Amino acid sequence: MEHQAEAKLLSPTRRELLQASIELTNHTLSYIKSMALRCAVQLGVADAIHRCGGQVSLDGLLATLSLSPSKLPYLRHVMRVLTASGVFAQADGGGYRLTPVSMLLLSDTGDDGGCRSLLQLVQLKLSPFCVSPATKLAEWFTTKDEETPFAMTFGTDWWGLCGRDPGFGVFFNGAMACDSRFLMDEVIHEKGDVFDGVTSMVDVAGGTDGAAKSVAAAFPHIKCTVLDFPQVINGIPAAGQVEFAAGDMMDFIPQADALLLKFVLHDWNDEDCVNILKRCKEAICSREQKGKLIIIDVVVGSPSQATCHEAKILFDLLISTLTPGWERDEKEWSGLFKEAGFRETTSSHLC
């Protein structure tokens, strides 16, 4: 009787069930927001509004995009969703204007070389390479092998596809360079003192030099080297104090005052992470003066705003869908550092 009474007390009211059904609808249709965003990105809506002076009517947007007049009602539907979600905003007198969110979708943001644009990164995250494996999560859970949903979908892992499909490799590396330019601008502005005393740096698995180029521009005295696979860096000329070294970080990392691992470790399981960290330790501790290992990655559960916390756990699920790795919390990070032999660590949060 006591358990029955407790169950009855916990039963939702009809009003609560109605509200729950609305919340369930929002969760169920959340992918529509992503697909509306993908549509706007592919059409170039942000650039179109920018070309119109930052504000444009629906008719004007249709004309600027060179779309058929018959698409006008459907364009309105897409823009209504993206306006409600804050990607765009309703302009005074009607029409639409850019917001800080959609300004990140501009293909060219001026004289800074596009460092404030995340267009290529968004294109990657909304591409079938990221979306398709996520649609197969339940199917993957019922399999007995340990491949990732990405590998189950494409028949190889992420790095295998980069090697097998040069077009995908270029697409991926371009998105990572876009992310590096944007993020490193913030890191250098907010946490630039981490580079104090550094005269040489290796950007480990640095791709096509986005992060290293930013560091070199901000600190001309630092000689930067980008380490990555030959197929990634072949053909990229040295520029200023940025050089390139072909190799596998699992085997060897060149010596330097500082090493940078930007969004590298989250791609790997604990065993591989420890191996990478040990290679790093060898590269910075073989000299008389110990160097620095600078890691830029997500820390799940760290103090952050609600929006940032949601972004972290969503990104965690994405990464674990695409790779054998995941985003780690403070305890998990500390465990990796300890096992790799690091004793002195400090942390700082951007969000």
In this predicted model, what pLDDT tens digit does every residue of 148-194 receive, in sequence order?
999 999 999 999 999 899 999 999 999 998 999 899 999 999 999 99
Whether residue 199 lies inside any domain: the answer is yes
Q: Higher confidence at residue 239 or residue 20?
A: 20
CATH of the domain at 76: 1.10.10.10
Of 200 and 239, the structure prediction assigns the larger pLDDT to: 200
Distances (CA, A) of 248 to 123, 166, 252, 253, 274: 27, 18, 6, 8, 15
* Residue 280 maps to a domain: yes
Structural domain includes residue 187: yes
Annotated catalytic residue within 3, 221, 266, 349: 266
Average pLDDT of the chain to the nearest whole number: 91
Total Cβ atoms within 10 A of residue 144: 4
339 against 145, higher pLDDT: 339
119 domain-assigned = no
Q: For residue 323, count other CB atoms closer than 10 A to its CB.
A: 18
Condensed to tens digits (0 to 9), the pLDDT of residues 103-123 reads 999 997 554 444 589 999 999
50 part of the active site: no
CATH number, residue 203: 3.40.50.150
pLDDT band at 235 (very low <50, low <70, confident <90, very high): confident
pLDDT value at position 100?
A: 95
31 located within any domain: yes
Q: Domain span at residue 19?
A: 2-103
Stretch (H or E) spanning 202: strand 200-204
Kindly report the pTM of this predicted structure. Answer: 0.89
